[in-house]
Chain A
Amino acid sequence: MSETSATHVAHHAPTSFIRKYIFSTDHKVIGIQYWFLALFSVFLGMGLSLLMRFHMVFPDAKVSWFATLWPKGAEGGIMTPELYLSLMTMHGTIMVFFVLTTAPQAGFGNSFLPLQIGAEDMAFPVLNMMSFWTTFLALAVLVMAFFVEGGAPLGGWTAYPPLSALGAVAGPGMGAGMNCWIVSIALFCGASLMGAINFIATLVDLRCKGMSMMRLPLTCWSWFVTAILSLLGFAVLLSAGILLLLDRVAGTSFFLPAGLVVNDQIQNHKGGSPLLWQHLFWFFGHPEVYIAILPGMGVTSQILSVFARKPIFGYKAMVYAVCGIGFLGFLVWGHHMFMSGMNPYTAMAFSILTMTIGVPSAIKTFNWIGTLWGAKIRFTTCMLFALGFVSLFISGGLSGIFLGQPALDLYFHDTYFVVAHFHLIMGVAAIFGMFAGTFYWFPKMFGKMMNETIGKIHFYLTFIGVYCIFTPMHQLGMAGNPRRYADFKEFEFMGQLLPVHTFITWAAILTATAQVLFVINLIWSWWKGAKASDNPWEATTLEWTVSSPPPFDNFAGKHPVVYRGPYEYAQPGAPKDYTMQTDPT
């Protein structure tokens, strides 16, 4: 008994504002903090992409406030190519790290992993707080790059050396701005490692009675595998980042070979290999794609089953597929390097493994459609986003079948075909997963229902919009248009493709405008939304057994016991069409 009361003392809700909302150790508050950080970042990243799209189509346009924002990068209001490239670098970095890695895993995972497994909090609450604030610091350092001498770096989110290792001589932004970038990423790696350890320990140790691994909701499986990927991937990126920083500031030559002549200056380096960075970077970078998308797959599986009112099709196959994707995800990094000059024989191994990873992805897709077959679908906004996720995942996945073949990559590498592919599957599909998760869990996070009418209009505009943006990019890729070009004036064949670019730019502007609806919905629902009941969606998992929002210690001092799997819908003979995991009968 004394043990129980000790736990309760430790889990008294803090009363001061700072301990409750700012330096909080409560996983629910930290989850919401991550979610807000990602929300801020996604709008920042989207804003940068609009500026890029504008510049590509109207490279000579004079816009006075460009000059106000960037006195050097846009002198007289005309954006320079180097400013374009720095916007591109920052867009990619912000989106990949501070949105795609942050919201689905650290945001929703923090909020709902402990609740779904019946735990009072994460295993290490203080570590959890530290990982959020380190992420926050990382974002601040990254944004700082815009304001330092030379501005933000222009080397892309992949930061390939020698370009990224040479310093200011390689271009504007490659001095102080690039250092900010590396420091920011290193901090982010540290934060992600802390988060990963916490997620793994929590899932392994804190599951409540009866919650066996094979009774875990698929969301928990996704967060678990993602945490393992983060642990192994970010450790390597952190080391690579430190080596890159040493090359820049300490005169080492990890990534710099002898004989470099930059701007007519002979560089004093020898013995390093630019390809080493690519191997290290993509050893992290490919699993990173799955870090971004696996939680989205988990949320989609969860929502499809809840709103189909039907058990998930092939639960075990789904679990094995997630584990298979996680494992194979570490064996395919070389498919980013088919054209890099690495040994061409290895391309064969990497491409076969790459195609193999398509198999578990196909299993997931078939199982989603299997779940919907014979269902009684409730078309709520979050269900629409989950269905949209499946459609985008099919479209974005299939273009990978082209790119995964080294033979076809001989043409497609670094064209807009690649841009279309990864935006559909890693960008937009993952963001649809976040929208789905937001509409699904908002009632539990904030105690209010979101507005369904605004939500549905927002969904349809976004769904049509993203296909209008990214479908024509496949055409551009087939026409050979390279990516990361500030404008298309120099090349005859690209000039002919300008109408396609113009269409994409307008589609992007309209789709971005539609996102205002989402913000309105959030604010309106938070302020005036209908009060949420404990279980508004009639779902079966543990977070829906407690009040909305849940009490500070999640289960109000009780210890939940689990008797069945998470997808018991439409069970014949059961009193209702869903049976809670905690239902003993």
Chain B
Amino acid sequence: MILAFLVWAFTLFVTAYFMFTTWFPPGINAHAAAYDQQFRLTLVITGVIFFLAQMALGWVMFKYGDDGKRAEYSHGNNRLEVLWTSAAAVLFVGLVLMGTTIWASVHFTDPPADSMVIEVNAKQFAWSFRYPGPDGKFGRTDLKLINDSAGNPFGIDEKDPAGKDDVVSSAVKVPVGKPILLKMAARDVIHNFFVRELRLKQDLVPGMIIPYHFQADTPGKYEVACSELCGLGHHQMRSVLEVMSEADFAKWMQEQLAQKQ
């Protein structure tokens, strides 16, 4: 009996709380808006099931206590079984299918041809990002030339002219509204690139180059958190995604190139 009231109170509180609060940071592009909508839909559907199922559980406890009489003799009801089996199947599979467009836009569609390409290199506990510079070409790299203290985490080969104007940064800076294609690689163990405001997450796996494309429509600074356990400094593996105006980005790029001279 006490348990019935406890379950009811908990259910009412949780349903109300999760329906009327939001813990997501505001999204910064169309993908994030679509994501939030799919989340909302799932929240409402599971919320209704949660509410009804827990309330029913509370109800049977409240209503059907032992009063010394015999219980109802029933071994079940096949029509009910078929009904709730098919209802659950339609609802659950339907939800997945409704979310496919979001997954498809991330993974099945190619990034626009004019996307800005940035290489990502993750290592135990730091991020590095490489821009091709004015020539639009990434220079040759060699594992043996990797030298973090000398500012060469990618192992760029100085002898290759295409690499002379490559810009390496520890934060990822992008112009607002521009399609971006990250080519992501990890040097030692698995890492994960996660920006909350983009509603996107992807593992970086040694031996693989994994594409990750997005566009950010709101200028600002957003934290990048490693989201795959990578060792003792995992919790400190932070970078920043900085979304800048076109002009600011160009200015920053000029400064970086000037420093290299």
Which of A's residues lie within 8 Å of B, judged by CB?
Answer: 80-82, 85, 154-156, 160, 162-163, 166, 170-172, 256-264, 266, 272-275, 308-317, 339-341, 344-345, 347-348, 351-352, 354-356, 358-359, 362-363, 365-367, 369-370, 372-379, 384, 387-388, 390-391, 394-395, 398-399, 401-402, 404-408, 410-411, 413-415, 460, 463-464, 467, 471, 474-476, 478-480, 482, 484-488, 490-493, 567, 569-572, 577
Contacts and interface: CB of A to CB of B under 8 A. Distances in A.
Given A408-B42, A480-B25, A259 B73 contact: no
Nearest to A316: B76
Contact of B199 (A316, A410, A474): A410
Contacts of B189: 160, 162-163, 166, 170, 262
A467 B25 CA distance: 25
Contacts of B23: 475-476, 478-479
Interface of B: 1-3, 6-7, 10, 14, 18, 21-25, 35, 38-39, 42, 45-46, 49-50, 53-54, 56-57, 60-61, 64-78, 80-81, 84-85, 88-89, 92-93, 95-97, 99-100, 102-103, 106-108, 123-124, 143-144, 146-148, 187-190, 192, 194, 196, 199-208, 210, 223, 225-236, 238
A154 to B, nearest CB: 6
A355 B93 contact: yes
A348 B106 CA distance: 13
B187 A482 contact: no
Contacts of B39: 402, 408, 411
Given A274-B190, A408-B42, A355 B76 contact: no
B205 A407 contact: no
Contacts, number: 328
Q: Give the interface centre of A358, A372, A482 by most chain B CB atoms within 10 Å.
A: A482
Nearest to B144: A266
14 contacts: A85-B231, A163-B231, A262-B188, A310-B72, A352-B93, A376-B71, A377-B64, A379-B3, A404-B96, A408-B99, A410-B106, A411-B200, A414-B192, A570-B73
A334 B104 CA distance: 17
Contacts of A261: 123, 143, 146, 187-188
B6 A170 contact: no
A105 B53 CA distance: 28
Contacts of B35: 407-408, 410-411
B65 A379 contact: yes
Given A163-B230, A311-B74, 17 more contacts: A80-B232, A154-B231, A160-B229, A257-B207, A257-B208, A262-B189, A274-B190, A311-B75, A358-B88, A377-B60, A394-B54, A394-B57, A406-B99, A407-B102, A407-B103, A482-B226, A482-B227
A478 to B, nearest CB: 4
A404 B100 CA distance: 12
Nearest to A310: B71
B65 A377 contact: yes
B221 to A, nearest CB: 9
A476 to B, nearest CB: 8
A399 B46 CA distance: 8
Contacts of B227: 413-415, 482
Contacts of B200: 410-411
A309 B71 contact: yes
A501 to B, nearest CB: 13
Contacts of B108: 344-345
B93 to A, nearest CB: 5
A340 B203 contact: yes
B231 to A, nearest CB: 4
A491 B60 CA distance: 46
Contacts of B84: 362-363, 366
The 4 closest A-B pairs by CB, nearest first: A257-B207, A374-B72, A344-B107, A314-B76
Contact of A490 (B2, B65, B238): B238
Contact of B73 (A369, A410, A571): A571
Q: Give the interface centre of B1, B46, B66, B203 by most chain A CB atoms within 10 Å.
A: B203
Contact of B236 (A354, A490, A567): A490
B150 to A, nearest CB: 11
A384 to B, nearest CB: 6
Contacts of A264: 146-148
Contact of B232 (A171, A401, A407, A479): A171
Contacts of A488: 235
Contact of A310 (B74, B102, B147): B74
Nearest to B43: A402
Contact of B53 (A260, A394, A479): A394
A239 to B, nearest CB: 21
Contacts of A413: 192, 201, 227
Nearest to B70: A570
Contacts of A266: 143-144
B116 to A, nearest CB: 22
Contacts of A571: 73
Contacts of A340: 203, 205
A480 B25 CA distance: 9
A29 B246 CA distance: 74
Contacts of A405: 38, 42, 95-96, 99
Contacts of A359: 85, 88-89, 92
Nearest to A317: B81
A553 B99 CA distance: 57
A172 to B, nearest CB: 7
A175 to B, nearest CB: 13
A490 B35 CA distance: 27
Contacts of B77: 313-314, 370
A313 B77 CA distance: 8
